Amino acid sequence: MKYGGIAMTRKLSTMGLACLMVLVMLNACCGFALAEELEPVELTVWLNDAVGTADQEVTDYINNLEEIKALNVTIHFRKSISGEDNAQAIGLALSSGEPCDIVFDAMWKSYLLRVSEGAYIDLAPYLEKYTALKEAIPQTHWDAATVNGGIYAVPTYKEAATQWAVYLPTSFVEANDIDVSAVSGLSDLTNILQMVVDDGRPGMMVTYDNENLVSMSRFHDFSSVAANGTVVVNRENPTVAVNYYETEEFREFCELMKLWNESGYFIDDLVTRENYDEFEDESMRGMSTVSYSPQNEIIQSTNAGYSMTPIPVTDAFVETGACMGSAFCVTSQCENPDRAVAFLEVWNTVPAVKNAICYGVEGLTYNLVDGQVELVPDSYELWGGQNWTTGNSFISYTLVGETKDKWDVYLAWNESAKVDPLLGFNYDGANTSAEVAALSAALAEHLGVLQFGMVDDIDASIQALNDALYASGLETVLEDAQEQLDAFFAAKE
């Protein structure tokens, strides 16, 4: 399955920006009235960023952009105050009546909960009118945002896939002539880890509460359905819900982790270790895990202070969580939803608006160097926008240090990724919240020792884990998930 819409979207953003801006203007204002004929509207937009010292200057600049003035809206940005939990603050605003028209959300935050509570409006009818917005974002993302037939968010168009990888210093990879292309699963890392520990480095630099390794093992062949990946489907047979911890693949993973533990690939004080700060030097750094996206190595290398090489461990899959890793929703208490969607259209189709919300104001929070953004030293204290949380990335500037073809690279990666068979499926846990909480507690008690190979009898430990899961209500969650999967696939026929 390919992104028929992605390539067209990229062409629009790179070859026809002037035409697109005209179309946006016509669609966003002339479609229902001239700007001066519109009643002035104020919209409060909750971002996923912290309060900055230049917030007012940037906001004023955005409100004076022609594309915003054409909508006759005044935007007020609400950002997190120091120590404030963004999701909780939005929840309080929704319940208290505090101005709250457009809010940031994501699958990993409160999206499904808020939808179930009726906090967001269904945008599907508005997308029939605001076609530039609909066409700017691939159908895969709209599918990911769909819940029970309704679309309650405008997903941020960015990387669309999830892929797991590990990192090592490039100097170590080259010195040991490691063929990163030969790795296609966790077991292929065994010989490399032996090289790492033989060189006096920590093997796999993870902490005991980090579940990246079991996530990698599960992601390789399974799609997560519910209960933190306890309920899954095999991608080769995606219509049947199963307990991942009863699969042969999980047992093989546990055997591999026991081998790694006995071989010294986990540091001795793993259970109590909080970080690996003393191993940050290039000559000491071991292997680390990451959820990979294109050119992530630039970020990793910059943070490390030396070149880092990614080693992909899984295939890349376009999945719901990645497509809905960042989104904006129009709240049910918004008094001007039509104008809110008009603003979201301009935000996601006009580069000047996107770049301002993301980077701030040229000369204040950033400078342009050969067409790329160079942030001023205190940029994040001034404004603090993040590209992945501020609308359509594909129409934004790239940063100094990134390649100028970054978005073409992202597009190619999105198009080459496999499509998860559960794309667009969102488990509704309203009827199993107590069971899911109990399952999380059971996993917290039993999974760690298995994930890091700290058991004598693998089969007995797996049985103890599964006994605890079923005692916590796993069968109820499996049955509920199966019913929802049946309905999901029936609707696709």
Longest dimension (CA), the chain: 76
Rounded to whole angstroms, how far apart are CA atoms 237 and 227? 19
Rounded to whole angstroms, how far apart are CA atoms 73 and 113? 29
pLDDT tens profile 309-342:
999 999 999 999 999 999 999 999 999 999 999 9
> For 456, phi and psi rounded to 5 degrees?
-85, -45
Rounded to whole angstroms, how far apart are CA atoms 119 and 341? 16
Rounded to whole angstroms, how far apart are CA atoms 251 and 46? 44
The three-point CA angle 406-412-416 to 5° equals: 145
| Cβ atoms 181, 165 nearer than 8 A | no
**What is the residue-wise DSSP string for 103-141?**
EEE-TTTTHHHHHHTT-B---HHHHTT-HHHHHHS-HHH
pLDDT at 12 over 60: no
Q: What percent of the chain has pLDDT over 90?
A: 81
Q: Give the DSSP letter of residue 27.
A: I
Rounded to whole angstroms, how far apart are CA atoms 440 and 434? 10
Element counts in the chain: helices (H) and strands (E): 22, 17
Average per-residue pLDDT for the chain: 91
Characterize the bridge pairing of strands 41-50 and 73-80: parallel
pLDDT at 160 over 50: yes
Residue 138 identity? P
pLDDT tens profile 182-194:
999 999 999 999 9
Bridge partners of 355, per DSSP, are none
pLDDT tens profile 465-486:
999 999 999 999 999 999 999 9
Give the residue carrying structure tokens 């801006």.
Answer: 21
Q: How many CA atoms lie within 13 A of 155 on its CB side?
A: 27
pLDDT at 36: 57
Bridge partners of 165, per DSSP, are 290, 312
What pTM does this model have?
0.83
Characterize the bridge pairing of strands 418-419 and 327-330: unpaired
CA 201 to chain centre: 31
C-alpha distances out from residue 70 to 8, 24, 51, 337, Å: 26, 10, 27, 17
> How buried is residue 278: exposed, middle or buried, by Cβ count under 10 Å (0-12/13-18/19+)?
exposed
Bridge partners of 231, per DSSP, are 226, 243
pLDDT tens profile 75-130:
999 998 777 787 888 888 888 888 999 999 999 898 998 998 899 999 999 999 99
pLDDT at 14 over 90: no
**Closest listed residue to residue 141, CA positions, set 132, 131, 153, 129:** 153
Report the first-to-last Cα separation within the chain, whole angstroms.
16
Q: Give the DSSP letter of residue 246.
A: G
